[in-house]
Structure 1
Amino acid sequence: MLHKKKSLTILALSLSILSQGLPVYAKGSVGNNNNNPTESGGKWMKGEYHVHTFQSDDAQQSLKDVLDNAFNKYGMDWIAISDHLRTSSRDDEGNPIPGGPIPLSKGIIQYQAPKIKQLQDAGEYKNKIISTGFEWDMPTYEHVGIGILTDKPGFAEGLKVSNQFEYLFTNRDERMFDPADVAAWKANDNRAYSTRDDARTALKWLETNYPKSSYGILNHPSRKTVYTISDIRDFNNIAPNVVFGLEGMPGNQMEPDRGGLNLTTPKNRTYGGSDYMIAKLGGVWDALLGEGRRFWNFANSDSHFEISTNRQYSSGYWSGEYSKNYTWVNGSNMQAVLNGMRSGKSFSVFGDLINELDFNISHGKSKAEMGGDLQVKDGNNLKITIRFKSPEKNNNGDPVQVDHVDLISGDVTGKAIPGTEDYSKDTNDSTKVLKRFTSNEWTTDNDGYNVITYKVKASKNQYFRLRGTNLGTDVIGETSSGEPLIDQKTDIEDNETRFAEINKRNYKDLWFYSNPIFVNVEPHK
């Protein structure tokens, strides 16, 4: 029996809250976000932007329990709370809200954000980055995770932008908002919450008003049959600074249908726990990368509860327990995290298969890392370096070992033109596993990294990305010729047995995905 599917991706209208107080962000401001992020001044940080509390009506966990587990138990560095952008009937501790349901954005202002400040002022979660946010039901589509950092002075005023977004782009009753605010909002924008065009209007609003300080990431994109690749291309064209990625490694991994993707059509299932758009070699993600789009993959818990209080259903792991994003961050606030997310210098992991990754491509003194570009000439020799580590054990107490790492490449041919046949094509025929590396082909350096080097000759514009797993290339029910197979439903009548088997299923089938590096080749004159 399946738990009800989770609400729309975090409209993470974020005002970061640090241990020393509430930072103020300049509208549209951005830090170091060049094409080739450097090591200078930054560090790898673990986090996610998609987790729920009691303020989502289908969740069963308090804000404090979420933060305690994410930071104190599972070692996360940053987190964005992402309750559903709907009406909320409970506060952050699960108590009924006096007077009945209120808009979630108002609930964040009244309960969630002050509680985060109270906890951090009391010394909890030192040096951790916490962002408030929510999941938006994008009109006619699916859930989209949005974050907005504002320059509004003061706590409540800073979060009022989320209130404005909820008024403009959901069907909340106008009477649920402050009349003075409504009058001001009406003077500048019309409400838009019903059609495909309204969805695009909302994304354009974010791109216009918060081009560097907001994000709109597509969560569990294949859970329903609502997106075409043309839609994704439209969103990225309309709001390239905002819509820069998707949740290719979805949460809800404790559901019987792994990831909660329970349709029978192959394109609406998970493969090795990952969305078909990411898992399919030469599929949607590769098609987007083949246009040269800076469009990244992310993992999240989508945590609502692990096992329901009545012990009948299972849903998702705690934040950081099973899924992690590793992002290179220059700074110590949510704007710095957002800069890192947008830069593409990140990788995503299930079950702590790896906990460190250095992936770069170089020619002479020039080097590019994940999310970056390497400019070379036709015929130049390229050196690809892959260095990774795994922990001794993961959070399930299992020893962890990578079986093989795939170096995947695809041609970059430029953006498809709207209205053409190519604009609707959701495959990249040039994508291939360029080389598969096993432990026989890597060495271990003095720092404990497994090291792989590989040389290729530059001949055309391409991207290179990594995929790794603990599985062999042909494991019955799991892989075939190295490709992940469709995840089967774990359907066992006894609840406790089913929970245990789901967890066992997930931890025996682990993967990581890196974001790509682009190589741009200058032809001979």
Structure 2
Amino acid sequence: MVAAPSPASAEPRHRPSAPDPRRLRWLAGDHHVHTQSSYDAMHTVAQQVAAGREHGLDWMVITDHGHVAHEKFAVEQTYADVLAARRANPSMLLWQGLEWNVPSGEHATVFFDAARDELTALRAFERLFDGNINGTNHTSPANEAAVLAGLRWMSGQIDRGAIDSALMIANHPSRNGRYSPREFRDYRDTAPHIAVGMEGSPGAQNDGGHRGGYGNAPGTDSWPGWPSESYRTFGGFDWMTAKLGGLWDAMLAEGRGWWITSNSDIHSANGSTLASPSVPDGWYDAHGRYPDPVDTGTPHTYADFWPGQFSRTVVGATSRTFRGVMEAIRQGRVWVGMGGLVSDLDVRVHGEGAGHPATLGGRVTVRRGADVTVRITVRTATAPNAAGEIPRLARLDLIRGAVTGPAADRDAFTHPRVSVVESFTPRRHAPVLHVEHRFRNVREPFYVRLRGTDGKRSNGLEPMMDVQGAAAPWDDLWCYANPVFVDVR
């Protein structure tokens, strides 16, 4: 049994004052991008960055898979490519991160503040804590403890000034059932300034057989408590996020952040004419990367979209800097969207007598009996997306969940006190939706969050399970926003 983190470790290192929502810069990005230095990918750093820029991204994280050959050969090679891409694309904030093979778990994005020497820290972290390198992938108490050791190591690097900050985001959390609810709570309690959340929707959205690659069943390393439906996507979103009153809501019910993101998880871009060159067996193990892809002149069908082409994570940063983006993710100032369904989203929660409003990831404090007003502005799509269509937002849901405090059962993954309190329907062809909802005579703490849909596939208000073998991502678009908390005194 892995010991639970001590209460002291559960406290965030700092609580920066909430920024004025009017002064935030909303920057779109992708934190899960593979290159030829992953054992299963092919594109160069330059190709990925060029695609991200073309599709309107402001920031990206290169996250090649942890692997013996990657740590041995590719870290420095990739870093040289990243530095060259930064020089060639000064408007793009570009990190070199890692897709961490989480011991006893699944995969996760890990990256450090690029304002310092991220290369030294990244290579040391991979060598010390990656499951592929150290043989710690399988589920066991000792391997669960190794994850917490890795989080403490990153925290220690910050304490001694080797790096300025670090982030961990759990990738495709339900795909193989490898993460348990208790593990998520342990990660957050051990390093709440580093382990901040999970992918709300996975990449590989063009996988027609299994949208997001979610076509699996429980395995020997899966947590046995997950229901069979959790191994599928719903409207392209992971079940942990899409399920109303599910794992995400159970985490938020504790009154602390656990944020969602979205990304491409790109290995090979759909529609690209590029293909991996033929290489002898054992090439990757000997070199830690593949040769540059070759142009075949023929478009190929792949499971992935280019960065920003379909999914994006939009963060509210106080500045267009590495630190600004990382702090925005850490504080949950994030909304995610698919297929260009929404071009801009502004959420402000006003508490009676509470001063300036809070936006995504923030919190307001009101006296018991006060009113709380939620004001939302959505700019809908006015230009064609990458599929050549102008998507239409059919419905925006305002969701409320009660804050009930720390879970008595650390493996709890349901929250019954969650509901859609109001749904809003934009006027047809209206470019902007302004809506407001007032919670009167507030008596207990709660949070509010948003989701929107094009309305093409739903079970009442809820997203439907994606059809195996016939998923059509452009015909089932959703967006989600992280919560705002309301504290009552």
TM-score per shorter chain, which class? 0.7 to 0.9
Q: CA deviation at 1:291?
A: 0.4
1:198 to 134, 146, 160: 146
| Cα shift readout 1:282-316 (whole Å, capped 9, x = no counterpart) | 00000000001211010010000124838886221
CA distance in 2, matches of 1:82, 1:320: 15
Q: Which residue of 2 aligns with 1:282?
A: 245
Q: Alpha carbons of 1:232 and 1:171: their partners in 2 closer, same or farther (altered >3 Å)?
A: closer
CA distance in 1, matches of 2:42, 2:81: 18
Q: Alpha carbons of 1:206 and 1:193: their partners in 2 closer, same or farther (altered >3 Å)?
A: farther
CA distance in 2, matches of 1:86, 1:126: 30
Q: Which residue of 1 aligns with 2:423?
A: 436
| Cα shift readout 1:446-495 (whole Å, capped 9, x = no counterpart) | xx5310011111221000000100015xxxxx31111011111226xxxx
Q: Which residue of 2 aligns with 1:141?
A: 105
TM superposition score normalised by structure 2: 0.82
2:130 to 160, 170, 174: 170
Contact kept? 1:245, 1:297, Cα under 8 Å:
yes
Task: Supply the AA of the counterpart residue of 2:16.
Answer: N
Q: Which residue of 2 aligns with 1:116?
A: 82
Q: Which residue of 1 aligns with 2:155?
A: 207
CA distance in 1, matches of 2:133, 2:387: 45
Q: CA deviation at 1:35?
A: 5.6
| Cα shift readout 1:342-363 (whole Å, capped 9, x = no counterpart) | 1111100011110101111113
| Alignment of structure 1 residues 397-412 onto 2, 5 Å | 397-412=388-403
Instruction: Report the aligned-residue RMSD.
Output: 2.6
Report which stretch shifted further, 192-201 or 129-138: 192-201
CA distance in 2, matches of 1:173, 1:285: 31
Q: Which residue of 2 aligns with 1:6?
A: none
| Cα shift readout 1:250-285 (whole Å, capped 9, x = no counterpart) | 101111200011125211110000000000000000
Q: Which residue of 2 aligns with 1:459?
A: 443
Q: CA deviation at 1:333?
A: 2.4
Q: Which residue of 1 aligns with 2:484?
A: 517
CA distance in 2, matches of 1:247, 1:301: 11
Pair 1:43-2:33 in alignment: no
Alignment size in residue pairs: 429
Task: Supply the AA of the counterpart residue of 1:279.
Answer: A
Report which stretch shifted further, 231-240 or 391-400: 391-400
Q: Alpha carbons of 1:434 and 1:414: their partners in 2 closer, same or farther (altered >3 Å)?
A: same
Task: Supply the AA of the counterpart residue of 1:58.
Answer: D
Q: Which residue of 2 aligns with 1:63?
A: 45
Q: Which residue of 2 aligns with 1:295?
A: 258
Pair 1:86-2:52 in alignment: no
1:483 to 450, 459, 462: 462
Report which stretch shifted further, 284-293 or 313-322: 313-322
CA distance in 1, matches of 2:61, 2:82: 11
Query: Unpaired segments of 5 or more residues in structure 2?
Result: 1-11, 135-139, 218-227, 277-298
Contact kept? 1:463, 1:516, Cα under 8 Å:
yes
Q: Alpha carbons of 1:151 and 1:274: their partners in 2 closer, same or farther (altered >3 Å)?
A: closer
CA distance in 2, matches of 1:410, 1:512: 18
Find the residue that maps to 2:275 and give its secondary structure.
coil
Q: CA deviation at 1:42?
A: 3.5
Q: Alpha carbons of 1:193 and 1:127: their partners in 2 closer, same or farther (altered >3 Å)?
A: farther
Q: CA deviation at 1:164?
A: 1.0
Contact kept? 1:360, 1:386, Cα under 8 Å:
yes
Task: Supply the AA of the counterpart residue of 2:202.
Answer: P
Q: Which residue of 1 aligns with 2:211?
A: 258
Q: Alpha carbons of 1:318 and 1:516: their partners in 2 closer, same or farther (altered >3 Å)?
A: same
CA distance in 2, matches of 1:283, 1:350: 21
Task: Supply the AA of the counterpart residue of 1:439.
Answer: P
Moved over 6 A (4+): 30-33, 171-174
CA distance in 1, matches of 2:83, 2:13: 24
CA distance in 1, matches of 2:250, 2:86: 43
CA distance in 1, matches of 2:380, 2:72: 40
Pair 1:388-2:393 in alignment: no
Q: Which residue of 1 aligns with 2:223?
A: none
Q: CA deviation at 1:66?
A: 0.6
| Cα shift readout 1:418-461 (whole Å, capped 9, x = no counterpart) | xx4x3221111101111111126x996xxx53100111112210
Find the residue that maps to 1:227 and give its secondary structure.
coil
Query: What is the identity percentage for the equivalent residue pairs of Structure 1 and Structure 2?
Result: 28
Q: CA deviation at 1:166?
A: 1.8
TM superposition score normalised by structure 1: 0.77
